[in-house]
Amino acid sequence: MSGGTRRPLGRKPARVAIVGAGPAGISAARELIKSGVAVTLFDKETASGGLKRYGYPSFRMPSSISEREAAQLAEQGVEFKGEAELGRTLQLADLERGYAAVLLATGAPVPSRLGIAGEDLPGVYDAPRYLYGSRTERPLPAGPRVLVVGGGDTAVDAATTALFLGADEALILVRRGEEGLAAQPHEIKYARDKGAAFRFWSVPTKIEPGATADGAAVMADGAAVMAAGTAGVPAGRTYGSLEVPGSLEVTIATTQLAGEPPVLAMTSQVSTERFDTVIVAIGQSRHLTFLQSLGLEVADDGTTNRPGVFVAGGTLYGSQRLAKAIIDGRRAAQQIAGYLDGPA
Quick check: 321 binds ligand FAD (CB under 6 A)? yes
Binding mask 12-31 for ligand FAD (x = CB under 6 A): -------xxxxxxx------
Which residues, 142 to 201, sit near ligand FAD by CB under 6 A?
Answer: 153-154, 157, 184
Cβ closest to ligand FAD, residue 217 vs residue 325: 325
Of the residues 1, 15, 38, 44, which one makes contact with ligand FAD according to CB under 6 A: 44
Quick check: 245 binds ligand FAD (CB under 6 A)? no
Given the rule CB under 6 A, which of 38-46, 69-77, 190-198, 216-224 is the region that contacts ligand FAD? 38-46
Q: Return d(Cα 341, Cα 136) in angstroms, integer.
A: 43
Q: Which of 142, 116, 112, 144 is nearest to 128 (CA)?
A: 112
Q: Return d(Cα 154, Cα 46) in angstroms, integer.
A: 23
Of the residues 8, 15, 38, 45, which one makes contact with ligand FAD according to CB under 6 A: 45
Quick check: 202 binds ligand FAD (CB under 6 A)? no
Q: Which of 258, 310, 311, 317 is nearest to 284 (CA)?
A: 317
| Contact partners, residue 292, CB within 8 Å, separation at least 6 | none
| Contact partners, residue 99, CB within 8 Å, separation at least 6 | 14, 15, 16, 17, 40, 308
Strand-pair partners of 185? none
Binding mask 280-319 for ligand FAD (x = CB under 6 A): ---------------------------------xx----x
Length of the chain in terms of residues written? 344
Of the residues 105, 172, 279, 340, which one makes contact with ligand FAD according to CB under 6 A: 105
Of the residues 85, 96, 243, 301, which one makes contact with ligand FAD according to CB under 6 A: 85
Of the residues 55, 118, 141, 144, which one makes contact with ligand FAD according to CB under 6 A: 55
Of the residues 118, 123, 128, 308, which one makes contact with ligand FAD according to CB under 6 A: 128
Q: Which of 217, 231, 45 is nearest to 135 (CA)?
A: 45
Rounded (10°) CA dihedral 287, 289, 290, 295: 130
- Per the CB < 8 A criterion, the answer to whether 216 and 122 are in contact is no
Ramachandran quadrant class, 108 (left: phi over 0; alpha: psi -120 to 50; beta: rest): beta
Quick check: 133 binds ligand FAD (CB under 6 A)? no
Residues that bind ligand FAD (CB under 6 A): 19-25, 42-45, 50-51, 55-56, 85-87, 105-107, 109, 128, 131, 153-154, 157, 184, 313-314, 319-323, 325
